């Protein structure tokens, strides 16, 4: 039996109807598939680490962060919002630190360096502001 293939434009039409959380989960899985295709034959531990590396910042957290940054840039940030922004920055930095730890573990498993793993996975170093 022949399976019907869905074109990317058709997929995008359906994906556009999903809620942001569904899209987040889908993107995480797509990134994992991409990583697996770049380096087939992962162990369970590598697959788990890749999944954690590709999780990213939750959509709602990113939205709130973007909103507060925009308000800060427009000089309309209240004192409470400033405190919220500092708290969000702290959370995001902790998530980034955890991601680096996962990348380091993956580098150790693959007997390579952190910069090489980042290059292999297409992860760019963050800009220093």
Q: Where are the domains of the chain?
A: 42-123
Is residue 100 predicted with pLDDT exceeding 90?
yes
pLDDT at 81 (0 to 100): 96
CA dist., res. 96 & res. 61, Å (int): 14
pLDDT tens for 80-95 read 999 999 999 999 999 9
pLDDT at 2 (0 to 100): 53
Is residue 72 predicted with pLDDT exceeding 80?
yes
CA dist., res. 23 & res. 18, Å (int): 6
As a whole number, mean pLDDT of residues 69-76 equals 95
Work out the pLDDT band at 33, boundaries 50, 70, 90: confident
Q: Do 23 and 15 meet the contact criterion of CB atoms below 8 Å apart?
A: yes
Burial label for 43, CB within 10 Å (0-12, 13-18, 19+), is: exposed
As a whole number, mean pLDDT of residues 60-69 equals 92
Q: Do 50 and 106 meet the contact criterion of CB atoms below 8 Å apart?
A: yes
pLDDT at 19 (0 to 100): 83
Average pLDDT over the chain reads 86
As a whole number, mean pLDDT of residues 30-47 equals 76
């Amino acid at each position: 039996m022949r399976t019907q293939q869905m074109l990317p434009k058709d997929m995008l039409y359906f994906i556009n109807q999903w809620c942001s959380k569904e899209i987040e989960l889908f993107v995480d899985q797509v990134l994992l598939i991409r990583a697996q295709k770049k380096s087939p034959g992962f162990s369970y531990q590598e697959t788990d680490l890749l999944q954690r590396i590709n999780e990213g910042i939750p959509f709602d957290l990113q939205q709130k962060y973007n909103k507060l940054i925009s308000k800060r840039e427009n000089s309309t940030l209240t004192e409470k919002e400033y405190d919220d922004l500092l708290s969000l920055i702290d959370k995001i930095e902790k998530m980034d630190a955890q991601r680096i730890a996962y990348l380091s573990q993956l580098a150790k498993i693959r007997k390579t360096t952190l910069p090489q793993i980042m290059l292999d996975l297409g992860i760019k170093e963050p800009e220093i502001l």
